Amino acid sequence: MDFIYFDYAATTPVDQRVVDAMLPFMTERFGNPNSLYALGRDAYRGLEDARERVAQAIGASRPDEIIFTGGGTEGDNAALIGIMARASDGPAHLVVSAYEHHAVLEPAHWLEKRGHAVSYLAPRADGHIHPEDLASVMRPDTKLVSVMHGNNEIGAVNDVAELARVAHEHGALMHTDAAQTLGKVPFDVDALGVDAATFSGHKIYGPKGVGVLYLRRNVKFEPMLKGGGQEFRKRSGTQNVAGAVGFAAALEIMVREMPAESERLARLRDRLILGVTTRLENTEPTAPGGERLPNIAPLLIKGVEGEAMLLQLDAQGIAVSTGSACSSGSLEPSHVLLACGVPKEVAHGSLRVSLGRFTTDADVDRFLEVFPPIVERLRAMSPVYARMFGSP
């Protein structure tokens, strides 16, 4: 069956070149990188080579600032909990944005329950976190600011350099969740001025269950995983050598192909958004404005349920997402859209179409052919649409 994948922001297939780089480390080069004999030293060399290549790709000055993790969720948890645990003797203040991934929001809630104060900073209607707004919530006891680089639902890319400057001016450290931006927009730890950053392998055509936490040297950090002291005592556990090698290979491909690929994706994205909004009335891009990820087309299709559109598209072999609600299986509209000030009723009609390496013009054509009749059919049956706009 012709199956069209439009959910690259949820996960990506592993690139065959990445598979090829990983395979030897699952078979003949299988040693434990912490073993001292030749087989172990060989795995160690593979691991450390991967670490150096990741450091190089994100502008880290030392390889020991690269901590391999079990994915983006672990990196976010470790950054928030690990930094806050060592930032002060008693309770302190943490700032996160209100539209973070749950992997940041949940540890923030947990820290709040443990006695820390947390500010949840709302984005403006353009979908961005504004540095002036950050400045207005900073306190003398603020120890950490965590604002995502690119939002996974609406694709807004924040000015992390400016946000980091505000954080530092007030004596706080800066963490950013860059799972969505890595390899799609330039990422350099010094240019952005971040002290910590989280990345995930499966968003960059690498394997699932592997990620990187960048931790600038001298950042005080309490490891979540305690044990054998691997990863510079910051993340115990025998390293996923094949995963680390895959991450490095995936990242290098992303960086190398970024200029041409980002341009190609942005063109497809714009064609898709324009195609939908010209073919269907009462539709619009979500919280538009400012810098955007090239591969996410966030749409508001008023008076229709996102889940209904998703299932109808699935029946036609097209995979899309509604936003974050799917992860929790809840029917509440996404916290991201509500944080951006999208009214609840409108937020129900959210659809996130995300493009990637294997998306073609023909895929976009097919979507523009299949999608409008689906929406028209659903609207014809929708009391909500009739109430909002009269009969279709």
Ligand X SMILES: *Cc1c(COP(=O)(O)O)cnc(C)c1O
Verify whether residue 326 is a known catalytic residue.
yes
Q: Which of 87, 105, 148, 310 binds ligand X (CB under 6 A)?
A: 148
Among the listed residues 98, 117, 137, 326, the single catalytic one is 326
CA distances from 103 to 27, 35, 365 (A): 33, 33, 35
Element (H, E) at 296: strand 296-301
For position 246 contacting ligand X by CB under 6 A, the verdict is no
The closest residue (CB) to ligand X is 72
Structure tokens at 278: 């010209």
Nearer to ligand X, 148 or 287 (CB): 148
For position 179 contacting ligand X by CB under 6 A, the verdict is yes
Q: CA–CA separation, 115 vs 196, rounded Å? A: 23
For position 103 contacting ligand X by CB under 6 A, the verdict is yes
User: Is the alpha carbon torsion for 229, 195, 201, 339 positive or negative?
Assistant: positive
| Site mask for ligand X (CB under 6 A), range 40-79, x = bound | -------------------------------xxx--x---
CB of 87 to ligand X, least distance (A): 22
Nearer to ligand X, 57 or 103 (CB): 103
Q: What is the DSSP letter of 234?
A: T
Among residues 224, 196, 228, which one has the least CA distance to residue 35? Answer: 228
Nearer to ligand X, 119 or 152 (CB): 152
Nearer to ligand X, 87 or 103 (CB): 103
Among residues 233, 219, 245, which one has the least CA distance to residue 51? Answer: 245
Instruction: Give counts: helices (H), strands (E), the chain.
Output: 14, 12
For position 200 contacting ligand X by CB under 6 A, the verdict is yes
For position 203 contacting ligand X by CB under 6 A, the verdict is yes
3-state secondary structure 144-174: EEECCCECCCCCEECCHHHHHHHHHHCCCEE
CB of 323 to ligand X, least distance (A): 12
Interface with ligand X (CB under 6 A): 71-73, 76, 101, 103, 148, 152, 177, 179-180, 200, 202-203, 211
Catalytic positions are 326
